[in-house]
Structure 1
C-alpha cells in the first residue's frame, strides 16, 4: 500500500510538471489567396469601369460596357463562377481570421450575383430612380467622380458617352423583349421617366447638362483647346445625345406606356414571388421571409406611434396623430429659409454642434474630407437626400446631396436625423473608414451590402441625444418620423410585392403613419415599386446592430466601451449581417 501511495505521489508530481500544450499559431497571411482576392477586384473593375471611376481609379474613365448585351452577361457570369470555384482551393485552416472573413464575403458575393441570372431584371433597364441614365447624368455634370481636369479627361468622357449611348439604344430592345415576356414597369413609373428623358432633349446646347464641363473648363487650357472641345461637345449633344434620348422617349411615351403594368408590385410579373425572395436576401443579407418582415413592420409601426404620441403631448398639440403630422408638415416656423444656400449652411451648423460629442462615441474617425451640396437640378424633383462616397485615396470628398426644389417650402424638422444618417457618423464614417482601412483587401473597400450600410446609418440616427442633438422636441420627432419611415417600408414594400397591395394602398398606409408630405410619400412608394426589397434593408440592419449593442452592454457591464463597440462594427467594412454578428460575438467573448 505504501509503495502504491508513493507511486501515485510521483505520478501526480510528474503530471503537474507536464508542460502546457503549445497553442496552435495563427496561420500567416496566405499570399496565394491574397492574389485571388486582388484578381477578383481587378477583373471586377474591368467589368464595371464606373465602379473604378467612383473609387478614384481613372484607368477606365473612357469605358462604359453594354451591360445588357449577351456578351457582357456571359463574361459576368463566368467571372463569378470562376472565383467561386477558386475558393475551394483554400481551406479555412490555411487562412488568417481576416482572410476567412474575406473568403466568406466573396462566397456570398458570387452566390448572390449568380442567383440574379435566374431572373429577368434586365428586361426593365430604365426606371425613374435607379437606372444608369440617371447616374450618368451626375457624371456628365462635371461635379461628380468623372474628372474634367485635362484635355484627355474631356476626350475620355466623350468616348465613355459613345459607349453609354450604345447601352441606351439597347434598352429599347430589352424593353420590347420585356413586353413579350410580361416584364414591364407599372404605368405610374413610366410616366415619371418621361420628363427625365425630356430634360436631356434640350436643344440649346449651352443649357444642356452634358455641356456643363465646357462651361467650367480649366483656365490653363489654350484657346485652341477650348474651341476644339466646345465644338466636339456641341456635336456630341446635338447629333448623338439629343436624338438618342428623343428616340427612347418616343418609344416609352407610346408603345411602352401602352404596355405598362396596371399592377404595382413585382407579383404582377412572371416568377415575381421567387424574384422578391431573392431581393429580400440580397438587400437584407438574411433568410427572412416576406411574411416575417411584414409582421415585424407592423410591430415597429405600433411601437414608434406610441413614442410619437408622447412628443405630441409634450408640445401641447390637441388632436390625433395624423392631424399632428399635418401640423408639422405645414408649420411655417419649421420652414425658415428663402435660399438654397441657407439649407446647406443649416446642415453645416448641425455638424459643428455635434463635433465635441463625436470624440466620446468614436475614437476612430475618417480622414476623407466631407461636403454638403445641393442635388443637381435635372434630378432634384424626384431625388431623395443621399450620400456619394469619396475616392479611395481621399482626394475627392464624400458628398451629402440635398434636394432643394423650393427653399421656401423646405421643412427642417427632420434635418438632424437626416444628417446623422446620410453624413456623419452615418454613411460618411462607415464608407470612408472602410476605404481607408489598409488591412482590407481592395475588393472589400468598395463593397456595399444595404442591410449593413443602411442599417448602420439608421442606427446612427438613434445616437442623436448622445451627440448633443434632439434637444428640440420637433427634431426628436423628426428622428421618430425617420425611423417610422423605415418601419413603414417593411409594411408597404412587402405589401406591394407579396400581398398584392396597390400603389394607392401603400400611399394611404404611409400617409396614415408618417409625417412626410404626400408628394414625398408618392415618390417613395414609387421608389419601392422600382426596386423591390431595397427599402427593407434599413430597419433590418438597424435592429440587428441595436440587438448586438444591447447584448454587448448586458454581457460586458462596466467593461463595455461604446467607442470600441463602434470600432468593432465599422472595422470589417460592409459585410453580410450574419458575419457581423459572428464578429461581435467573438469580441464579446474576448472582452470578458
Structure 2
C-alpha cells in the first residue's frame, strides 16, 4: 500500500539494469514508441524492485527479496545511466501533453535517484532503509491471490532475510540515532508479521503437513535473523553520530527533486512565514467575536496570541472519547460523502471501499493519521484510513491528543485523509490512463489536494459556524507551520525546545501533537513542506483557470475533475497542461 507520509526511506527502486533493455526498443519516435518505452521501463523496474511492485499491486515478483549489497548499488547507477540515455532519444516537444508530463516525471525521478546514490547515500546512515516488513505484511494481508500462493511466495522471500540483514550491517556505519530508534521500533513490531500472523495463516491454509513444517521452520529462522538485527541496532554506537539535520545545501537539492516546484525551499519558507502572520490576524478577529460566548466577561488579553489560545483551548474541550475515537470517524464518512454530492463538488466512486483501522505497528507512528491506497495494478483493493491507537497512552497524553482532534478538527482530519481528500484523489489517480503519474506520485499534489479540499468544503458551506472556521484556521496553520518548522530545523538548526515552543504558541498545538511533530521532523525531511506548497500551487492554478475559463463558464466541479484527471502529477506540470505556459 502507498502510505501518504514518508518514513525516512530512500529510493526504493532502480536496483538493477539490463544494458540491452529499453534502449534497444527505441526504433521509432513519438508517442507510440514512448508508450512502449514506459511499459518496458516499468517491467524492468518491477523485476529489480519487487517490494515497490507489490505496493503498487504488481505481484509477479513477490517471492524475491533484493539483497542490498555493493553489486546492487552499482547496478542502480548503471540503470540510471542506461535509462537517461533511452529517455534522451525522445524529443519531448513531439509528444502529446500527457506524455510530456510522463517524460518530465521520469527525467526527474532518474536525476533524483542518481543524486541519492551518489550524494545522499542513505544506506550509510538510515537504518530504516533496510525494512522488508511492509512488503511482507502487504503480501500476507491483501487477498489479491489465494492464501496458499501468497504463503509460498513469502516462504521463498524469507530465505534471503538472514543475508539481507548481514549486508545491511556491513555498510550501516554512520547511523543517525533517531532513525535507528525508529528502525528498532518498526522491526520489533514487524516480528509479529512473521512469528504470529504468518504462522497463524499457515494453520488456516489447506497445505500438506510437510510443507507447513518447512514454512514454520523458515519462519523461525527469519524471526531469529530479525531479532539478531534488532539486537545489533540496539548496540550500534558512535562517538560522533551523524545528525538527522540535512543542512541547507542537501535540503535545497532534495526539495528540488521531491517538490518539483517553481519555488525554492527558502522562498517557500519566506512565503509561509508571511502566511502565518495573516492567519494570526484572521484568527484574532474570530476569537474576539467568540470571546463573550465562551469567556463571558473575562478581560480579553492584550496579547492576541494568548487570546486566540484561550478560545481554542475552551472549544477543544468538546471531543470524543478514546473508546469512541474510531467509531466517531467512521460515522463522519457517510456525511462527508453526502455533502460532496449535494454541493456537486466531485463525483465519488462508491464501489471503492474505504476502511478505518488502527495504524499497523510497523508504521512506527511517525504520523497521527494516514491513508493507504491501492496501487494502479490493484485498483479494486481496499483503501485504509489509518489512525493512531490510543491504547497504552497515559490518560494525560490521550486527553491532549483528543483535545487536538476535537469535534471540529476530527472532521477536518477526515476531510483531509478521506473525502474529498486523499481517498477520493487516489481513486481518481488510479483511473488516469498513465501509470507513471500514479506510481511516481507528487507529494505536493497529493497533500496539497487534501489541504485544498478542507478549505473547499468550508467554502461550500460545510458547518458554517465561527467555531469551525477558527478551528480550520488552526488546522491550516499546521500546514503552514509544517513548512516553516521543517526548514528551520534542517537548515537553521532550530532546537527541540524552540520547536516545541513554536508549535504550541505560534501554531496553538497541544503538547502531544507538538511532541509528535518534533519526532516526525527528526525522522523526515522536506516532506512536511508538501502540504502548504501543494495547497498554494493548486489555489493559484484554480484562480488562473477561472480567469482563463471566464467567470460565467467556470464551474468548480469541472476544475476539480479536470485537475484530478492528470493523476498524481506535479502541480507545476498540471498547470502547464491546463493553462499552457502561463
TM-score, scaled to structure 2: 0.82
Shift of 1:383: 3.9
Task: Structure 1: give runs of 5+ residues left out of the alignment.
Answer: 1-26, 179-183, 202-206, 268-272
Question: What is the distance in 2 between the residues matched to 1:494 and 1:93?
Answer: 36
Shift of 1:231: 3.0
2:553 to 552, 555, 559: 559
Alpha carbons of structure 1 residues 35 and 366: separation in structure 2 relative to 1, 3 Å: farther
SS in 1 for 2:419: coil
Per mean C-alpha deviation after superposition, the further-off stretch among 52-61 and 386-395 is 386-395
Q: Does 1:384 align with 2:381?
A: no
Alpha carbons of structure 1 residues 92 and 284: separation in structure 2 relative to 1, 3 Å: closer
Aligned to 2:150: 153
Q: Give yes or no for contact 1:435–1:446 (8 Å, CA) kept in 2.
A: no
Aligned to 1:313: 288
Aligned to 1:510: 503
Shift of 1:245: 1.9
Q: How does 1:438-587 map to 2 (within 5 A)?
A: 439-440=433-434, 442-466=435-459, 468-555=461-548, 556-586=550-580
Q: Which runs of 4+ in 1 moved over 6 A?
A: none
Shift of 1:495: 1.2
Per mean C-alpha deviation after superposition, the further-off stretch among 89-98 and 226-235 is 226-235
Q: Give yes or no for contact 1:455–1:537 (8 Å, CA) kept in 2.
A: yes
Aligned to 1:16: none
Shift of 1:302: 1.0
2:199 to 186, 211, 214: 214
Q: Give yes or no for contact 2:258–2:442 (8 Å, CA) kept in 1.
A: yes
SS in 2 for 1:368: coil
Query: Which whole-Å deviations, capped at 9, do the CAs of 1:34-73 have from their partners, x for residues lacking one?
Result: 111111111121222112111221111122213x422222
Shift of 1:467: 5.4
Shift of 1:531: 2.5
Aligned to 1:113: 113
Aligned to 1:416: 411
Alpha carbons of structure 1 residues 238 and 141: separation in structure 2 relative to 1, 3 Å: same
Aligned to 1:20: none
Between the two proteins, the alignment pairs up a number of residues equal to 532
Aligned to 1:372: 356
Q: Give yes or no for contact 1:351–1:424 (8 Å, CA) kept in 2.
A: yes
Question: What is the distance in 1 between the residues matched to 2:230 and 2:473?
Answer: 42
Query: Which whole-Å deviations, capped at 9, do the CAs of 1:435-479 have from their partners, x for residues lacking one?
Result: 122x22x33331221122211121111122245534454443332
Q: Does 1:436 align with 2:431?
A: yes
Alpha carbons of structure 1 residues 338 and 106: separation in structure 2 relative to 1, 3 Å: closer
Alpha carbons of structure 1 residues 200 and 37: separation in structure 2 relative to 1, 3 Å: closer
Aligned to 2:7: none
Aligned to 1:98: 98
Question: What is the distance in 2 between the residues matched to 1:543 and 1:362?
Answer: 20
Question: What is the distance in 2 between the residues matched to 1:525 and 1:70?
Answer: 34
Query: Which whole-Å deviations, capped at 9, do the CAs of 1:561-580 have from their partners, x for residues lacking one?
Result: 11111122111112223212
Question: What is the distance in 2 between the residues matched to 1:208 and 1:488?
Answer: 36
Q: Does 1:302 align with 2:283?
A: no
Shift of 1:236: 3.2
Alpha carbons of structure 1 residues 241 and 539: separation in structure 2 relative to 1, 3 Å: same
Question: What is the distance in 1 between the residues matched to 2:280 and 2:524?
Answer: 27
Query: Which whole-Å deviations, capped at 9, do the CAs of 1:524-561 have from their partners, x for residues lacking one?
Result: 22322332211112111110100111122234111101
Alpha carbons of structure 1 residues 150 and 193: separation in structure 2 relative to 1, 3 Å: closer
Question: What is the distance in 1 between the residues matched to 2:384 and 2:440?
Answer: 18
Alpha carbons of structure 1 residues 200 and 41: separation in structure 2 relative to 1, 3 Å: closer
SS in 2 for 1:558: coil
Question: What is the distance in 1 between the residues matched to 2:98 and 2:138?
Answer: 39
Kindly report the root-mean-square deviation, in angstroms, between the aligned alpha carbons of the 2 structures: 3.3
Aligned to 1:49: 50
Shift of 1:517: 2.4
Q: Give yes or no for contact 1:279–1:534 (8 Å, CA) kept in 2.
A: no
Question: What is the distance in 2 between the residues matched to 1:145 and 1:278?
Answer: 36
SS in 2 for 1:400: strand
Q: Give yes or no for contact 1:290–1:498 (8 Å, CA) kept in 2.
A: no
Task: Structure 2: give runs of 5+ residues left out of the alignment.
Answer: 1-27
Shift of 1:485: 1.2
Question: What is the distance in 2 between the residues matched to 1:100 and 1:141?
Answer: 33
Question: What is the distance in 2 between the residues matched to 1:146 and 1:82?
Answer: 36
SS in 2 for 1:286: coil
Question: What is the distance in 2 between the residues matched to 1:79 and 1:515?
Answer: 47
Report the structure number with the largest CA radius of gyration: 1
Question: What is the distance in 1 between the residues matched to 2:269 and 2:379?
Answer: 40
Q: Give yes or no for contact 2:357–2:384 (8 Å, CA) kept in 1.
A: yes
Q: Does 1:232 align with 2:229?
A: no
Shift of 1:146: 8.1
Q: Give yes or no for contact 2:50–2:65 (8 Å, CA) kept in 1.
A: yes
